[in-house]
Amino acid sequence: MQTQTFHITPSNIDQVQIDQAAALIKAGELVSFPTETVYGLGGNALSSASAEKIYAAKGRPSDNPLILHVANVDEVANYAAEVPDEVYALAKAFWPGPLTVVLKKKDIIPDESTGGLDTVAIRVPDHPIALALIQAAGCPLAAPSANLSGKPSPTTAEHVLEDLNGRIAGVIDGGPTYIGLESTVLDLAHGAPAILRHGGISAEQLKTHLPNLKTSNENAAHSPGTRYRHYSPNANVSLISDFASAELRTWLEEKQAVYIGPQELGNPHIQLSGAEAYAQNIFALLRQLDQRGVQHIAIESIDESGLGRAVMDRLRRAAGLS
């Protein structure tokens, strides 16, 4: 299969190209597109065959549920059997945006799109290309990250093509994403609201609207992206903390490692500081270092408040620690 690339500027949507990409989806094919979080791999969420193609293209286990991307909150009732009042309050605060809600599903959603679960994960992405594509396709788009399963998530179209060129029908190149890690997944289907996956909306932000919020949940299997190894480059990843600069230099030399973090070092290093910078850059850096043939990457841990908790979740998974 030849993968077609569409080049669309987010600030100047080319409707002709959007319609061409949407036609591929209507024909049962897969198209990758940018969101504010990472690039998604989109197919018709109402089609069992399209969902199966997503799993096959990614090499993703079929019991790992997909996220439905819709154009606005009014569409949620088309696919969820129950829509609690919290959904509308959260939508007013956070949609479009990097928040996914898990709800009881309607039968219109095939089991293949939900990993065989009786729940469905839904969000409204905050990206003009994504919203234009959903509207042109005329269906909700099931769209996990557009990478081979287990690899770092893609934040550019080039990353998508590294993994999926020849495996999918199209990719819309809309430039780099601006958050850089996936959405927060919130369970509203099993009693008290609970975070199943930390992401672009922090627990602190959600607690202002959900005072009884739980930050972990025994139903984490209902969340996309929590069951299996994720975000891992070919290189070995180590998380480090509490190293003085001199000790760190010695340790890096012994490991022949590239350092990512806030310290300025004489050894090979990439300076990053703060949760937002980590989130925006870490997946791209892991891919770049793989391309350079780096064998060992040392990443400095950051504070786990706010967005930092989602960043550290990804880093622990990249390091094989969770």
pLDDT, one tens digit per residue, over 143-173 is 999 999 989 999 999 999 999 999 999 999 9
pLDDT, one tens digit per residue, over 162-217 is 999 999 999 999 999 999 999 999 999 999 999 999 999 999 999 999 999 998 76
pLDDT, one tens digit per residue, over 47-99 is 999 999 999 999 988 888 999 999 999 999 999 999 999 999 999 999 999 99
The pTM (predicted TM-score) of the whole model is: 0.93
pLDDT, one tens digit per residue, over 3-32 is 999 999 999 999 999 999 999 999 999 999
Query: Per-residue DSSP letters for 245-308?
Result: HHHHHHHHHHHT-EEEESS--SSSEEE--SHHHHHHHHHHHHHHHHHTT--EEEEE----STHH
User: Domains in the chain and their CATH numbers?
Assistant: 4-222 (3.90.870.10), 236-318 (3.40.50.11030)
Distance of CA 282 to the CA centre of its chain: 13
Q: What pLDDT does residue 220 have?
A: 55
Other CB atoms within a 10 A radius of the CB of residue 235 amount to 18
CB 213 within 8 A of CB 205: no
Q: Starting at the earlier edge strand, list the strands of the sheet with 194-197.
A: 4-7, 170-173, 31-34, 39-44, 141-142, 67-69, 119-123, 99-104, 184-187, 194-197
**Apex CA 214: angle with CA 209 and CA 215, to 5°?**
100
